[in-house]
Structure 1
Amino acid sequence: MEKLLKSRTTALRNERNRFAALAFVWGDLLLELDDDLRIVFASGAADGMIGRSAADLEGHTLQSVLAPQFRPLVQEMLYVARRRGRMDNIQVRFIRPDEQLSAPVSMSGYFLPDLGDHFFVALRVAINTLPHDVARSIRRDEATGLMDEESLSRVVTERLMAQRETGAEHKFTLMTLNAFDPLCKRMEQIERDEMLASIGAFLRAHSVAGDTAGRLNGNQFGMLHRPDVPVGELENRIADCARDADPSGKGVDISTSVTDFTAEMIPPGDLARGVLYSIRRFCDRQEHGFTFSRLIGQAPNLVNDTFSAMRDFGMRVDRLKFDAVYQPIVRLPSAEIHHFEVLARFYDDEGKLIPTDRLITFAEQVNMIHRLDLAMMRRTLKWIRNQLEEGIDARVAVNVSGHSIENPDFCRSVIALFERNRDTMGQLMIEITETAEITDIDTASTWITRFRDFGVEICLDDFGTGASNFRYLSALDVDYVKIDGESIRQSLKSSKGRAFMKSLVDLCHELKVEVVAEMIETDAMREMVTKVGFDYAQGYLFGKPEKDITLYWRNIHDPKRH
């Protein structure tokens, strides 16, 4: 009797411990897994969730009832749970008895070594924590199951917004697998697919919510994760995986960079732009190149530092805290000045000039280029008025990004400026730059027509650098095109190139469009573009950008006579 009571007591204690463990988790279906991941206990709404009764699940391994594409992820999550003691919530799908996939199911759980090294797992009908539009827009790399760059940036933004309520801190890790392409070429398709699926599972399992990781390009991978994730161990596991899969046994060298990726009270729209910019700069290893001295060195918090740069940039732009310089465009062959192009000049906190191309890239990638373009328009119209009062009637061209010309708020603001400054319109021109491609040609054409109604002439900048230029030329009503200087330099090296350039100039003339040659720096280049038929030229041969145009402009008359 004593032995029977002792056995009964042990059984009751085990039951108590089991349900105590299950109290740590919650869900519609509760599972206990042994060390071999075999289901030793199941209770709950298994039928409705995965089409099997709870009793039918017992004795099966968890992997055998999971959909194949989720097995590597769950395997890795359980591996992580052995070390951390718990498994973060992830979404999985099961194979139903009719071979169909179940609906998405959320899985979370604990590993308790004191209870026989068993796992205690809760399953529930998935409640997608991401907004519907974000979840629906996610695109994935087929080989790894990881998100692409833009999808990852959107999901990271949502996770950072959620962290404000939880107070969690996150880091972002970038892994670059050096010599990855040669490795893939050495492998058979099946082995390569298995390796990529494993890498994807490793990264997802260690990321926030089990799915905040992405393949950013061929050999670069990024993930948002908690600070306690052992990045070094993960790096070693990926290296081991690659080496084991490599027929030559070489594998890859992995370069890892980690930065904080938390967010203060940043507006959601600004945060989304800052996250995408930060990820791209982090991948390029140029993440700290532009920042008014805030992103120099290894930034402790990339998103917040990027946002600080955005705020600083916005403040300088809105308050017109930047310089403007003017470069002459001359008529050929006389070299008489026709107009000036106005260019912005920004300086960092140490007074060093920030390269314009880096500045424009920053402004476009964080969706602030329209603010710079509008500020330049405001500043230029004020400058024109001041010049007219001094008796200087020089014409000036302002650069407007392709991004801005598609922004209705920007265009409406420009129209309002034109309405208030009608007496200066005769001196204003607009150059549409193609650092960002115009996607909505019809909308751009409508706004350009409205600008031209004020007497503003339009120039297409950097013509010749892309096939889209010809689409613009046929669809947009413009007065000038400016041929990219590098295109001219390459074309004029051969007779065939000169013939092509002449044909391009002749085409523009047939369309009643005049043509400007950029980056003319020698007399020989001036002579060649003149022979080809260019109408105007710009370059250091005729003058560098200067703050004071009276260094070039002599056509000053007495304003009192007018």
Structure 2
Amino acid sequence: MTVPDRFLGVAFAAGDIVLELDSDYRILHADGAVTGTALGGAKGPLALPDAIAADDRPALHGAFDALSSTFRSGPIRLRLPCDDGEMRPFIANFGRLPHRDGRYYALLTSPAHYGTTASLIDHLVSARNRPDGGRAMLERLARLLTEPSAGPADDGVPHRLLTVLETLGDDDLNDAQVRAFEQRLSAMSLGGQGAIKLSDHRFAVVQEDTGDGAATRAMIAGLGEATGVDVRSATLDPSRALDREDAVRAIVYCLQQFTEDAQGFDIDSLSTNFASVIREANDNVSQFRRVLSEGAFSLVFQPIVTLANGMPHHYEVLARFDQTEGQTGSQANGPARPSPYATIAFAERTGLIAEFDRAVITRVIDKLNQIDDRHRPPRVAVNISGRSLQSDPFVTQLLRQLARHQRLSDRLSLEITESAEIKAPETLQSTINRVRDLGFKVYLDDFGAGGAGFRYLKALRVDGIKIDGSYIRDAQRSHRDHAFLRCMVGLCRDLDIKTVGEWVETPEQAAMLRGLGVDYAQGFLYGHPQPGLKVTPRSAVG
């Protein structure tokens, strides 16, 4: 057996049709199961794009484009017309050899012999429409960039680059242009699976490049020209910025910020400052991990009072950072502490919030258990992120923890925060039911802050809601806002759901809420967050 025969045998072990193409993608040689297809019946030179279904050509051109910067591309799905009038589907992979300039090779495999056919896509689904908000897609993309083989280029060895793209003038594009753009982008990505749609007009793609990235940048520029889509992009090399753990979380954070057009994460900023931006994100992830491992946060408690008598009903547990437990006033002076909101928002975006929620509820339970039998623990409410409650491992551990400490069920309740991030209310309701079956109450925080508030009230059966403070603030100044607040409170009363008004700062606001029938209130009128749990002798409460 000659060397070419041996290589041909290897190719047929993996596929059904082997093609050799010239630089214009004309078929020079075709071997294998070509009989009865457009490849077998061609008279004279035939270009591969002309031999396949027209709808598959954008993906094919994307795969060819990718070969300008690396040695392999695909898989993509394409269809060959057959003599019987049917379209026969294949999965296609492409390659080129460094010593064979101007020659390309294609391996076409029947879907029946290809295990990943189902994962190949015709168009990109926006990450925002995924049940988890696209986090799994972002993490998969980030892992492609952080695998050991994804390091900087060395002697022509392919390395991996991240390109972020923004399409312009989307309103003027037709469906065919959008489809062609997305097919071609997907096909030119690493393994045909390295592109994601971040939002309606923002994308990210991982590609291999054997050089300094110039070929990849030219490829992206050609993508816009070929599809008629105006594109702005930045091609980035994470391998030069990331050399520590938590790189995946840092990349995910940067992509989320780019998706939301956050300050400092636009195309121009990323193009010039990507290394420093992603290093800072990576450092912040590492710093937050130290907060978790060292327990470097404290808990403070803000009263929530019964409006009818002004007496504390329970306390919301809030976190503070870089402050020793129990410090207050002049003891806590020194360098400015990180904003709790900013720190927790960062944990939300980097996927660390579940670990933080677990640490907080564990500390609260420990504090309640440390109160001796002569005193009655106060009621407290612990914030749990909607993101955390979409994590199966977190939910499993939470339910086990609550079951072990079920005796605290009349002292401890949960407040679901970041409800706008809840993508599957029906799944969350199952978790809420199990928490309530254990005797613990569940509140929905910041109700009305997002457009999904009333939808969640219909989908989720909870014990109470906390009305977003903006409604209380605006209801005093606007008849319209007052009407919304009145309807909200009335609906909750009809559903037997308790209501808590937030941001209560004046006696007039408190009087308004009492008049509307709100059950509880929270705000500076009744007290600022303070360290330490206030306990009551059991004899004083009967």
Q: Which of the five TM-score ranges fits, normalised by the shorter chain?
A: 0.7 to 0.9
Q: Using the TM superposition, give the Cα deviation of residue 476 of structure 1 relative to its aligned residue in structure 2, in angstroms.
A: 5.6
Match for residue 298 of structure 2? Answer: 323
| Inter-partner Cα distance in structure 2 for 1:482 and 1:119 | 66
Aligned to 2:196, the other structure's residue is in SS state strand
Pick the aligned partner of 1:94 from 75, 79, 88: 79
Q: Residues 373 and 400 of structure 1 are in contact (CA less than 8 Å); yes or no, is this contact kept in structure 2?
A: yes
1:440 aligns with 2:427: yes
Calculate the aligned-residue CA RMSD, in Å. 4.8
- Aligned runs of 1:12-31 on 2, under 5 Å? 26-27=11-12, 28-31=16-19
Match for residue 238 of structure 2? Answer: 260
Match for residue 13 of structure 1? Answer: none
Q: Would the alpha carbon gap of residues 424 and 203 (structure 1) be closer, same or farther in structure 2, given more than 3 Å must change?
A: closer
TM-score where L is the length of structure 2: 0.74
Q: Using the TM superposition, give the Cα deviation of residue 223 of structure 1 relative to its aligned residue in structure 2, in angstroms.
A: 0.9
- Aligned runs of 1:137-286 on 2, under 5 Å? 140-141=123-124, 152-153=137-138, 156=141, 159=144, 169-177=159-167, 180-181=168-169, 184-186=170-172, 189=174, 193-194=176-177, 196=178, 199-200=181-182, 203-204=185-186, 206-227=188-209, 228=211, 229-230=213-214, 231-238=216-223, 240=225, 245=228, 254-256=232-234, 258-260=236-238, 276-284=252-260, 286=262
1:397 aligns with 2:381: yes
Q: Using the TM superposition, give the Cα deviation of residue 123 of structure 1 relative to its aligned residue in structure 2, in angstroms.
A: 1.8
Identity %: 24
| Inter-partner Cα distance in structure 2 for 1:84 and 1:412 | 46
Aligned to 1:501, the other structure's residue is in SS state helix
**Partner AA of 1:519 in structure 2:** W
Q: Using the TM superposition, give the Cα deviation of residue 70 of structure 1 relative to its aligned residue in structure 2, in angstroms.
A: 3.0
Q: Using the TM superposition, give the Cα deviation of residue 378 of structure 1 relative to its aligned residue in structure 2, in angstroms.
A: 1.7
Match for residue 270 of structure 2? Answer: none
Q: Using the TM superposition, give the Cα deviation of residue 547 of structure 1 relative to its aligned residue in structure 2, in angstroms.
A: 2.1
Aligned to 1:75, the other structure's residue is in SS state helix
Higher relative contact order structure (alpha carbons within 8 Å, sequence separation ≥ 6): 2
Q: Residues 18 and 105 of structure 2 are in contact (CA less than 8 Å); yes or no, is this contact kept in structure 1?
A: yes
**Partner AA of 1:220 in structure 2:** R
Aligned to 1:515, the other structure's residue is in SS state strand
1:345 aligns with 2:320: yes
Which digits, 9 at most, give the CA deviation of each residue in 1:39-78, with x for residues without a partner? 233333323xx73565747522222112223323433544
Aligned to 1:493, the other structure's residue is in SS state coil
Q: Residues 288 and 299 of structure 1 are in contact (CA less than 8 Å); yes or no, is this contact kept in structure 2?
A: no
Q: Using the TM superposition, give the Cα deviation of residue 449 of structure 1 relative to its aligned residue in structure 2, in angstroms.
A: 2.5
Which digits, 9 at most, give the CA deviation of each residue in 1:469-494, with x for residues without a partner? 55655676644321111233344433
Mean Cα deviation higher: 200-209 or 426-435: 200-209
Q: Would the alpha carbon gap of residues 547 and 259 (structure 1) be closer, same or farther in structure 2, given more than 3 Å must change?
A: farther
**Partner AA of 2:313 in structure 1:** H
Q: Using the TM superposition, give the Cα deviation of residue 129 of structure 1 relative to its aligned residue in structure 2, in angstroms.
A: 12
Match for residue 470 of structure 2? Answer: 486
Q: Residues 432 and 442 of structure 2 are in contact (CA less than 8 Å); yes or no, is this contact kept in structure 1?
A: no
Which digits, 9 at most, give the CA deviation of each residue in 1:389-447, with x for residues without a partner? 79574322112233445656545544554565466544323223325323325513431
Q: Residues 89 and 108 of structure 1 are in contact (CA less than 8 Å); yes or no, is this contact kept in structure 2?
A: yes
Match for residue 43 of structure 1? Answer: 31
Match for residue 326 of structure 2? Answer: none
Aligned to 2:530, the other structure's residue is in SS state coil
| Inter-partner Cα distance in structure 2 for 1:210 and 1:423 | 54
Q: Residues 73 and 191 of structure 2 are in contact (CA less than 8 Å); yes or no, is this contact kept in structure 1?
A: yes
Aligned to 2:96, the other structure's residue is in SS state strand
1:514 aligns with 2:501: no
| Inter-partner Cα distance in structure 2 for 1:518 and 1:38 | 70
| Inter-partner Cα distance in structure 1 for 2:63 and 2:390 | 45
Match for residue 376 of structure 1? Answer: 360
1:458 aligns with 2:442: yes
Q: Would the alpha carbon gap of residues 38 and 507 (structure 1) be closer, same or farther in structure 2, given more than 3 Å must change?
A: closer
| Inter-partner Cα distance in structure 1 for 2:235 and 2:322 | 29
Q: Residues 172 and 261 of structure 1 are in contact (CA less than 8 Å); yes or no, is this contact kept in structure 2?
A: no
- Aligned runs of 1:345-364 on 2, under 5 Å? 345-347=320-322, 353-364=337-348
Q: Where does the alignment leave 5 or more consecutive residues of structure 2 unmatched? A: 152-156, 266-272, 324-333
Match for residue 48 of structure 2? Answer: 62
Q: Would the alpha carbon gap of residues 73 and 334 (structure 1) be closer, same or farther in structure 2, given more than 3 Å must change?
A: same
| Inter-partner Cα distance in structure 2 for 1:420 and 1:142 | 42
Which digits, 9 at most, give the CA deviation of each residue in 1:179-214, with x for residues without a partner? x13xx4456x4xx734x4564466445432344223
Aligned to 1:460, the other structure's residue is in SS state strand
Q: Using the TM superposition, give the Cα deviation of residue 91 of structure 1 relative to its aligned residue in structure 2, in angstroms.
A: 2.5
Q: Using the TM superposition, give the Cα deviation of residue 343 of structure 1 relative to its aligned residue in structure 2, in angstroms.
A: 0.9
Q: Residues 347 and 353 of structure 1 are in contact (CA less than 8 Å); yes or no, is this contact kept in structure 2?
A: yes
Aligned to 2:528, the other structure's residue is in SS state coil
| Inter-partner Cα distance in structure 2 for 1:538 and 1:152 | 39
Match for residue 74 of structure 1? Answer: 60
Aligned to 1:46, the other structure's residue is in SS state coil
Mean Cα deviation higher: 52-61 or 208-217: 52-61
Mean Cα deviation higher: 323-332 or 214-223: 214-223
Aligned to 2:87, the other structure's residue is in SS state coil
1:332 aligns with 2:316: no
Aligned to 1:193, the other structure's residue is in SS state helix
Aligned to 1:93, the other structure's residue is in SS state strand
Q: Using the TM superposition, give the Cα deviation of residue 121 of structure 1 relative to its aligned residue in structure 2, in angstroms.
A: 1.8
Pick the aligned partner of 1:540 from 524, 534, 542: 524
Q: Would the alpha carbon gap of residues 25 and 309 (structure 1) be closer, same or farther in structure 2, given more than 3 Å must change?
A: farther
Q: Residues 59 and 184 of structure 2 are in contact (CA less than 8 Å); yes or no, is this contact kept in structure 1?
A: yes
Q: Residues 403 and 438 of structure 2 are in contact (CA less than 8 Å); yes or no, is this contact kept in structure 1?
A: no
Which entry has the higher C-alpha Rg, 1 or 2? 1
| Inter-partner Cα distance in structure 1 for 2:252 and 2:469 | 31
Q: Using the TM superposition, give the Cα deviation of residue 288 of structure 1 relative to its aligned residue in structure 2, in angstroms.
A: 8.8
Aligned to 1:502, the other structure's residue is in SS state helix
Q: Residues 364 and 436 of structure 1 are in contact (CA less than 8 Å); yes or no, is this contact kept in structure 2?
A: no
Q: Using the TM superposition, give the Cα deviation of residue 283 of structure 1 relative to its aligned residue in structure 2, in angstroms.
A: 3.0
| Inter-partner Cα distance in structure 1 for 2:120 and 2:25 | 34
Q: Residues 277 and 366 of structure 1 are in contact (CA less than 8 Å); yes or no, is this contact kept in structure 2?
A: yes
Q: Where does the alignment leave 5 or more consecutive residues of structure 1 unmatched? A: 1-15, 290-296
| Inter-partner Cα distance in structure 1 for 2:359 and 2:66 | 52
